[in-house]
Chains A and B, each alone.
Chain A
């Protein structure tokens, strides 16, 4: 019954996409890849999420043609929007619009496996715990990984600091140098506005042991309804892939230079996106209150 419901709202993925996905993974006799991915489950989840991508966030992509046709790849975007919808949308873009399609491996938090149901679903969809060992392993087997060097520093920002890139870790560059993986910088423009956080209730976050608790004009005021993301148009701008050369064990100062290059490229792509799409998409009202600088 669930299946027929799904077919009604979410049409199957195009055949060339399905074929491309099948070619990009190594499945065993039972239909699972070495990390526990199952394509049937992943396809169903992608179909269900497609509505969010096409109708809710009306995603536009730029520069996907720059992606190499195959081989290992590291996608490095800015991170924003309280809940990681940006990761989901990038994953959908790479499946639905990149040719050949790429199944993206997201890196989830370490506490994630203790969550029932969701952790199982995420594993079946090809996500793994964000651990350098897992990243190396995935890249050596020619997979595409998604890394947010800002981590929760990016997602937990208040609205006043929208589109300000937070500090980047250096681990992703060392990983790229070790595995000779091209890095694709990506700007996500719009996700900042899905949850305009006015205040981070840090004391509550510490109490319930989560990284941050945003207060938005709608949450917690409107309860569960307020927890829905605003239907902002989201643009994904893919930069040119960049293969860094160098010693993976170079001191931090040298690695930092490469980090800054990637960060600079993302900042440039964000500026390009904001210039092309100047108005706030869903938050005219909040802005009119004069709340933001």
Chain B
């Protein structure tokens, strides 16, 4: 039976992916975080930084055929940039080297659509081969871009390993702790930038987990954008999720967020532009090559973000 090593294993998305894969493989989990109270992982679990030597020993002991790297530390977690860079960039490189040395045949790395950057010159549908502008706009996103580069470089350099790099749009759902899910779940007033209402894409956590599991199971390699059904403006998404938009002028919002960040009140400044300019990805390649289609529509995805059953369509 196959062994699959999953990073970020203490997180909710890894749990959903593990549940998808559990039937046909043995799973090994690694995370820099401990398992949450009451949480579990369907297989052995190790808490370690990805740069630590112990991680290589997990590879030696379990000899996984596949590495599923979901454990990117996000800016929202109030880690210092230095720490994020070390873990995300060096950590990823270490994991990829271990995978190569210890005989993994498949590597799946979860990147993000943020790497393209929220730039006003973006055209509407960004394909996988386009420049990654994120770190040009906000150096704080350099770790995400470098992680993506490390994965795509590995993809081309080591062709005997089948590598898949996924760049999903906003993954949302009742179980996730990412910023966008928390905002949509808040049920109260959610800030928008006055006068700006960029179209965004959302994919439900279960659809994202299915997409990831599919790339682990099926043959193939490449860099793929992954998105949900369609685009929807941010204010519209807020209303579909059962909250109300609270427009804030951007001349106030940017300095305010900068100040709040100093007091560790969460809203990462480097993600503000994603609420100003659209960053819409083209997912036709993934749909064509993997036959993937999200099970939930955009409306269903947003209506169920708080865990309620989908309401009847208005």
Contacts and interface: CB of A to CB of B under 8 A. Distances in A.
Nearest to B199: A36
B231 A36 contact: yes
A110 B230 CA distance: 24
Given A111-B120, A129-B121, A137-B125, A30 B195 contact: no
Contacts of A4: none
A120 B298 CA distance: 20
Contact of A32 (B125, B193, B199): B199
B124 A35 contact: yes
A30 B123 contact: no
B233 interface: yes
B196 interface: yes
A133 interface: yes
A73 to B, nearest CB: 19
Contacts of B121: 110, 129, 131
B299 A30 contact: yes
B277 interface: yes
A36 B233 contact: yes
Contact of B199 (A111, A114, A123, A137): A123
| Residue from A29, A32, A119, A123 having most chain B Cβ neighbours under 10 A | A29
A32 B233 CA distance: 9
Measured as residues with beta carbon below 8 angstroms from the partner, the interface class of chain B is: 20 to 34
A128 B124 contact: yes
Given A134-B123, A137-B124, A30 B298 contact: yes
B231 A28 contact: yes
A50 B122 CA distance: 31
| Residue from B120, B280, B297 having most chain A Cβ neighbours under 10 A | B120
Interface string B119-146: 0111111000000000000000000000
Contacts of B250: 116
A36 to B, nearest CB: 4
A113 interface: yes
Contacts of B278: 36, 113, 123
A116 B192 CA distance: 12
Interface string A128-164: 1101011001000000000000000000000000000
Contact of B230 (A30, A123, A129, A137): A30
A116 B248 CA distance: 12
Contact of B196 (A28, A120, A128, A137): A120
Contacts of B56: none
Contacts of B277: 113-114
Contacts of B123: 128-129, 131, 133-134, 137
Contacts of A133: 123-125
Interface in B281-314: 297-300, 302, 313
A124 B236 CA distance: 12
A217 interface: no
| Residue from B125, B230, B302, B313 having most chain A Cβ neighbours under 10 A | B230
B194 A116 contact: yes
